[in-house]
Amino acid sequence: MAEAKSVGSREATRRSERVHLQIPIEVQGELANGVPFRESSHTLIINREGARISLEHPVQAGAVIHLTNLQTGVACPFRVVGMVDKAIGRTPEWGVECLKPEIDFWGIYFPEDAGGEPETEHVDVLVECSACNSRELARLGLSDYRNLSSRGVLARNCPKCGSQSDWTFGYVEALAQTDLWPGDAAPTESPKSGGEEKRIAKRLAVKLPISIRLPNGQEEVARTENLSRMGVCFISDLKLEEGDFIRLTVGYVLGEGADEVMARVVWRRSREEAKGFIYGVHLEHKE
């Protein structure tokens, strides 16, 4: 069996940016007693080298499991790194490492991480090429990001098809019945059999500078993990409670004026690999 590594230690050697992204997967493997299992599940966080996945079956650190991306049909072996102590969702979570990184398992191009803290004048955003439909977690300057936001398209070179093409936002489709995606629209279809609600929420995977201001005047500049018209997920060192009201400036730039919006904290999760918390907030506005 391969030597078990903690999820936290692996974060220190991560070579590409991560994305909080729920991708439906099928997991196949064996339990400690040799009994095979198959489970339909989803990712919570992905990067080029691996993922954090939700999995009810108790797997062993070092075990090899096989994941199938149900959006693309691509299958790939992964090694279990270990169980995550501080889960984001409600079921057990595991860190897994891709054993064949040459396979385009996620269908997303992850550029090399330049290292260091992300600069506030850049935005990491999931974008999609209109020519070949490939996706990339691109690092854009604020001017390019604003052009993309206002025009809906951005001309840039595609690393996959090699053409100069129009790029659009790559939307994240998430199961909205989980508390990871607060504040989105009500379901447009009736619940499926068994009473399970299958709402779909479209969100943007955007790591955008955000200013957080508390009622007592305390402030912090953080970055979003993803957002929609009515909800934002971000990481912050501030200790907020569910139900707290805060004021956010999304797309914050030091020295520039911008409108604040009132938001309500819907959920809070501790971070396994670092200090601070992951928050989901609902934007308290109608437009």
Mean pLDDT of 228-252: 88
> Which residues partner with 248 through β-bridges?
212, 261
Domains 7-98 and 206-283 share a fold: yes
**N-terminal to C-terminal alpha carbon distance within the chain:** 54
What distance in Å separates the CA atoms of residue 129 and residue 163, rounded to the nearest whole number?
Answer: 9
- Listed as own residue / partner, the contacts of 5-11 with beta carbons closer than 8 Å and 24 or more positions apart are 5/61, 5/81, 5/82, 6/81, 6/82, 7/52, 7/81, 7/82, 7/83, 7/84, 7/95, 7/272, 7/273, 8/272, 8/273, 8/274, 10/50, 10/81, 10/95, 10/97, 11/273, 11/274
Model confidence at 85: pLDDT above 60: yes
Model confidence at 129: pLDDT above 90: yes
Confidence at residue 4, expressed as pLDDT on a 0 to 100 scale: 39
Share of the chain above pLDDT 90, in %: 40
Domain ranges of the chain: 7-98, 117-169, 206-283
Mean pLDDT of 214-240: 89
98-114 confidence digits (pLDDT tens):
999 888 899 888 876 55
Confidence at residue 67, expressed as pLDDT on a 0 to 100 scale: 98
23-59 confidence digits (pLDDT tens):
899 999 999 899 999 999 999 889 889 999 999 999 9
Mean pLDDT of 143-158: 90
Mean pLDDT of 128-137: 91
What distance in Å separates the CA atoms of residue 178 and residue 192, rounded to the nearest whole number?
Answer: 15
Q: Of 68-77, 222-231, 252-261, 277-286, where does mean pLDDT reach its minimum?
A: 252-261
CA 133 to chain centre: 20
Categorize the per-residue pLDDT at 162 as very low, low, confident or very high, splitting at 50, 70 and 90.
confident
* Kind plus residue range of the DSSP H or E element containing 209: strand 209-213
More confident residue, 118 or 123: 123
CATH H superfamily, domain 206-283: predicted glycosyltransferase like domains (2.40.10.220)
Categorize the per-residue pLDDT at 265 as very low, low, confident or very high, splitting at 50, 70 and 90.
very high
Work out the mean pLDDT of the chain and round it to a whole number: 80
Confidence at residue 284, expressed as pLDDT on a 0 to 100 scale: 85
Categorize the per-residue pLDDT at 12 as very low, low, confident or very high, splitting at 50, 70 and 90.
very low
Model confidence at 254: pLDDT above 70: no
What distance in Å separates the CA atoms of residue 37 and residue 23, rounded to the nearest whole number?
Answer: 20
Neighbours of 189 (CB within 10 A): 9
CATH topology of domain 7-98: Thrombin, subunit H (2.40.10)
What pTM was computed for the model?
A: 0.72
Model confidence at 14: pLDDT above 50: no
Mean pLDDT of 171-193: 45
